[in-house]
Structure formats: C-alpha cells, structure tokens
Amino acid sequence: MNPGTARPATGTPRHPGTRPGRFARCAAALLATVSVLAGCERGSARHVPGEPASGPSGCPAAYDTARTAVARAERTDVPWNGPTTGPPAVPGKSLVYVAQTMTNPGVAGALEGVRQAARVVGWNVRVIDGGGTPAGIQAAMGQAVALRPAGVVVAGFDPGTTSQQVARAAALHIPLVGWHAVAAPGPSRRPPLFSNVTTHVQDVARVSARWIIDDARGRAGVVVFTDDSIPFAHTKSRLITAELATCRGVRVLAHENIPIPDASTRTPRETAALLSRFGRRWTHSVAINDLYFADAAPALRAAGAPGAGPPYNIGAGDGDPSAFQRINSRQYQSATVPEPLTQQGWQIVDEFNRAFSHAPASGYAAPVHVSTAGNSHGADTWEPTGYQEAYRKIWRG
C-alpha cells in the first residue's frame, strides 16, 4: 500500500480523535448548538479500554472482513487491466448520446469521455437530454433513432422503459451501448444492448457497506439514499442494505427513495426531517449517487453539523469532481466509490467500434475503488492508469 493510503492500526478509529463513547455524545449534540459540535472535532486517535482490539463485539468477523476489503479498495497503484487488443477504428461514424438527465453528474461525466474518444477516432456525437422523466426519455430515444445514427448510447436509464424505440433501433440495425442501463456489465439480450458499461454493481455495493462497517467499527445507524425508479440504482441500494445486515451492530434507519431529478428540492427537506427524527442515532449515510450529499449539505450545515461528520457519508457512485471537492475539503462527504467516468466514455466508443467491426464486446468492468481525502491526493477524479494509451493503440491497428 502507498504511504498516502496507510490505514490506522487495529482498534483505532478511522476518524482521528473521537472515542466511540464520545462519538455518540457528539452525534447527540447534532441538533443543538454549533459550540457543542465544535467540541466533537477529532484530534489524536485513542483506543477505548475494554473494547476488543479486533473490533466491536457486535460483529468482529464482519468488521475484520470489512477492514481488509476497504484497505484493498483504497490502493491507488492498480495497473490497467482492460482490453489491449481489438479492431482498428472505423472512420466517419456518428453517435447519439441519450441522457437520462444531464443533471446526473455520472451521465455528464461519461459523456465527456465519449466526446474525448470520439475526437480521437473522428466521430460525431450529438446529445439529447431526456430531462429525467419517462415521457422525456421516451421522446429523446425516439428522436435519437429517427436520426438513424451509427449507434445510440443509453445513458443512465432502463431501456425497458423505451421498448418501442429500442425495437425500432433493432429493426434499423442500430446498435445500442448502455451506461448504467442495466445492472451487469457486458452484452445484454433483454433488453438488447451490444454492451453495458459499468462497474460490477455488487462490488460497489459491498465495498460501500463495508466502508461503513469499517469506519464505524461495527456500530452505526445508517440512512440509505437511492432512486428506485432506476433498476440499476434499486439493485445497488438493496445490495448495500444486505451487506450492512451482515453486521448486527449496524442498523439501517431509513431507506430514502428520492428520484435523481428531484434530489435538489427533496433532499434538503428529507435531511432536515431525518436529523429531527433520528438525532444522534444517525451516524453514517450511503447514497447510490454522490449528488445526494451536495443537496444534503445545506441542511446539515444549517443544523450545525460539522463538515467532517457525523453523519459520515459515502457515495456508492459516481465520483464526479464535486464529490472529490467535498471529500478533500471534508465538507459533508467522507468517501466515494467512484466510477472511472472518463474511462467509461472511452470504453463506450471502443464498444461501438467493436460492434461496427462485427467483433465481440470487450465486456470490461473497472475494478472497484474507494477514494478518500487520504488517498486522492487532491485529485478530483479517479481513473485507471494507462487506459487512453491502450485504446489509442487498439484504434491505430
């Protein structure tokens, strides 16, 4: 492990300076005055006498498993393990990028990668924003197919909700490549996608939950933020909840179902209500997308909660620059499990090139990673090293 990712010794709190007993008192003061909360800021790490060094009595085995998994995921020296061979670039193609909503930072981040890669191979890219509503997404898909491009990107929504447009694309032999369109990476028969670009959702969910178990030393009250209208997000949140249940000292306090297009208006209100309802019991949060914490921050700040927590917040995607800014400045987010958004945009272009060349999909899925202030070194993204050079070499032939 790199020095920048060194982890505390066994039995030492991840957030320096607050004893577990004091942690509860800090959280209890969450709705009180800022001066009380200021006394909960963390200084030097200390072990509580009488607490097992291997972890709390609630789930020592799950805690040890979580520590090991998180340490592995926080490594930053993982080399490129994606495709290194494939067909050379087919010139002169056009893509339409259909966005669930461009207010979703993950959708916007993947688009940037698509645009970068398209410039390298000389393709054109057009964007149609579905606006986050079923009617808008259906209309956007209809417009995209009517343009008869070489390929259509299904970005961040379930293609099953646009079944007529998907069938029309198939009839016109227009390949579809998804970004977080279904739960699994690689080709999909139902719905018909040449490939779906994403990390393994079960890995992201598992490590997000394990980060909480590790960070809380097996004792936490957790709020889960999700958008159940998106099957991918629904699956992720259920997997997170299942992994949290492996530690009997962790309790899921609430499952907040807030559609991403409504997050900016609903999340602040729901956060204030959660603070009032749970008070000191709310120690951690996990969200299927980092944007929820951008919207929760004003309510947490208004309640006098310190930016460094509690509650300690982890995003199970997407790792956009604003999430890294919150993490690095310790403002209402402690960690993220980032999607390598730009790399995934390059992969989308590579998958289309394979489709146009009648080659099989690469099916690549980036390894799971956890970014914190301790290992990001001030960066505002995370990407696997060497991917651009690998794709350029493939496309040159």
What one-letter code names the amino acid at 128?
Answer: I
> What's the confidence (pLDDT) of residue 349?
98
Dump pLDDT digits (tens) for 32-67.
433 333 333 332 222 232 333 344 446 999 999 999
Work out the average pLDDT over 371-379. 94
User: What per-residue confidence (pLDDT) applies to 318?
Assistant: 84
CA distance 370 to 382: 9
What is the average pLDDT score of the chain? 87
What span, in angstroms and rounded, lies between the C-alpha atoms of 176 and 150? 9
pLDDT digits (tens, 9 = 90+) for 287-335: 999 999 999 999 999 999 999 999 999 999 889 899 999 999 999 999 9
pLDDT at 16: 40
Asked if the model's pLDDT at residue 255 lies above 80, the reply is: yes
Pairwise pLDDT comparison (223 vs 51), residue with the higher score: 223
Question: Assign residue 358 a region: left if phi > 0, alpha if psi is -120 to 50, beta otherwise?
Answer: left
CA–CA separation, 278 and 294 (whole Å): 20
Token digits for 302? 């208004």
What is the percent of the chain with per-residue pLDDT over 90, rounded to a whole number? 79
| pLDDT tens digits, one per residue of 185-212 | 999 999 999 999 999 999 999 999 999 9
- Higher-pLDDT residue of 159, 10: 159
